[in-house]
Amino acid sequence: MRAVIVGAPGAGKTSVARGLGRFGWKLVTFGTVMFEIAKERGVKHRDEMRTLIKGEDYKRLQEEAADKIASMEGNVLVDTHCSILKPEGYYPGLPIGVLKKLGPDAIVVVEASREDIEKRREKDRGERTREGDPVEHQKINRYFAVAYSAISGAPVSFVTNEQGKLEETVERVAGILKAVRSNG
């Protein structure tokens, strides 16, 4: 089974995804797989991919990462972004070619309040570049996630990750994925 977990930067999707390891999920970070490939092309920092790699080159990089992930076996949880904010606007984190290659069985969108996201982003400063209005980004993510669901046939679930309630969020997502696996 393959599931995709997405969320705006700072929503806590990676923390939730890491917590799912104890339920037998192998965590694969889409951006890390892309970065491994991009390093061969001269990119030095993961966040540079959004600004240094343009257009068709970026799409090809995404598809190469999707091919690599699609070949993995077992319960694979793909940690990625639903949408990517670039200077010119929002791009799909899972364009149709990537989405079809990944073939997710479930899509989980992790969301959080503006206050929680801003606190988490503050802790990440210096380590990662987090841009844009988190509320707008989450709204855009909902649109993309519903489209991804329509294209892939995978159910989409929205889960709120409240500050200090990570374990409860992990349990909710584990329950969602267990239900999808049971019905698949």
In 7-133, where does DSSP find H-type helix?
Answer: 13-19, 30-39, 49-52, 55-70, 96-102, 114-124
- Which residues neighbour 62 within 8 Å (Cβ) at sequence distance 6 or greater? 34, 95, 97, 98
CA dihedral 157, 173, 79, 160 (to 10 degrees): 70
For residues 30 and 69, is the Cβ–Cβ distance under 8 A? Answer: yes
**Domain count for the chain:** 1
Question: What does pTM read for this prediction?
Answer: 0.88
Domain that holds residue 87: 2-183
Phi-psi region at 156: left, alpha or beta (left = phi > 0; alpha = psi -120 to 50): beta
Q: What is the CATH number of the domain that holds 148?
A: 3.40.50.300
pLDDT tens sequence for the chain (184 residues): 999 999 998 899 999 999 999 999 999 999 899 999 988 878 787 777 766 666 778 888 889 999 999 999 999 999 998 998 888 889 898 999 999 999 999 999 999 999 999 888 887 666 555 567 888 999 999 999 999 999 999 999 999 999 999 999 999 999 999 999 998 6
Which residue's entry shows tokens 């989405």?
99
Distance between CA atoms of 141 and 133, rounded to whole angstroms?
12
Give the contacts of 123 (CB within 8 A, at least 6 positions apart): none
